[in-house]
Amino acid sequence: MSEQNRSANTRNYQMRKRADDIAETRQRIVEAAVRLHGSIGPAATTISGLAEEAGVTRLTVYRHFPDDGALFAACSQHWASAQVLPDPKAWNRLGDPEERIRAGLSDLYRFYRDAEPMLTNVRRDRAALPREVQERTEATDARYCDTLLRPFRVRGTRRRQLRAVLGHATAFWTWRSLCLEHGLTDREATEVMTRLVVATAGTRR
């Protein structure tokens, strides 16, 4: 092998090694952020604390994530990749309103229990989140509610009331109150809220 080829190979190796080191450092920061958000919450997570948790400097954190939006986006994506998220598309395949409510709430409440520590901290610290994260969460919550509302053939005041009840039934804090604070099982909470929804709609069979 010529000296020129050896030099080129060395440069290529050094470049790959540097890229790997950068990616590994970024991943450490993201994983540290997930741990802190799940333990003390976003509002209490500082850049200094994050740097210490990740074993890097504050400057390194800022170099990888120059603003809160970039950090939260990476943190949310990493955390979500390890979760079994609710699946509104599956609920949408159920045409019967009551069946859809029961399936949707069961799916949501299962997720809320699995992800409770992180969801409690993030929902509690909502005001500390970047605006785009707040808007994304609001859009997701609205999608859950709208998917469950769609098969009900009610209009006017009753539809407005039904959407409010569905918003309450699908809320994380409703599940937390019913199941963690008042001791219902997820199945019991699902049945209680399903009965409330169909009673409001006036469609109980």
If pLDDT is split at 50, 70 and 90, which confidence band does 22 have? confident
101 in the same domain as 74: no
CATH code at position 21: 1.10.357.10
Domain check: are 179 and 160 in the same one?
A: yes
Residues 58 and 92 in one domain: no
Vertex 140: Cα angle to 137 and 146 (nearest 5) = 140
**Shared-domain flag, residues 131 and 99:** yes
Whether 119 and 190 map to the same domain: the answer is: yes
Task: Quickly state the pLDDT bin for 105 (edges 50, 70, 90).
Answer: very high
Claim to verify: residue 76 and residue 108 sit in the same structural domain:
no
105 and 180 part of one domain: yes
Residues 57 and 142 in one domain: no
The per-residue pLDDT of the chain, averaged, comes to 91
Instruction: Find all residues with CB under 8 Å of 134, minimum gap 6, and list them.
Output: 126
Domain end (from 64, 81, 98) = 81
pLDDT of 86 > 90? The answer is yes
Last residue within a domain, chosen from 22, 55, 81: 81
* Rounded-to-integer distance, Cα 14 and Cα 146, Å: 52
Question: Does 26 share its domain with 115?
Answer: no
**Backbone φ/ψ region at 154: left (φ over 0), alpha (ψ -120 to 50), beta:** beta
Question: Which of 20-29, 106-115, 183-192 is predicted with the least confidence, judged by mean pLDDT?
Answer: 20-29
Q: Which residue, 58, 81, 104, sits at the end of a domain?
A: 81
Do 100 and 189 lie in a common domain?
Answer: yes
**Nearest one of 115, 154, 144, 137 to 37, comparing CA atoms:** 115
Model pLDDT, residue 176: 98
Give the lowest-confidence range in 19-23, 82-86, 106-110.
19-23
User: Structural domain of residue 10, as residue ranges?
Assistant: 3-81
Contact, 157 vs 125, CB < 8 A?
A: no
State how far the Cα of 75 lies from the Cα of 94, in Å rounded to an integer.
Answer: 33
* HSE-up of residue 149 (Cα within 13 Å, Cβ side): 21
- Quote the pLDDT of residue 204: 47
Q: Is there a contact between 44 and 69 (Cβ–Cβ < 8 Å)?
A: no
pLDDT per residue over 111-158, tens digit each? 999 999 999 999 999 999 999 999 999 999 999 999 999 999 989 999
| Tally of domains in the chain | 2
What's the pLDDT tens digit per position in 50-70? 999 999 999 999 999 999 899
User: Looking at the structure, do residues 107 and 160 belong to the same domain, yes or no?
Assistant: yes
Same domain, 46 and 126: no
Whole-number Cα distances in Å, 199 to 75, 123, 163, 192, 194: 40, 29, 13, 11, 8
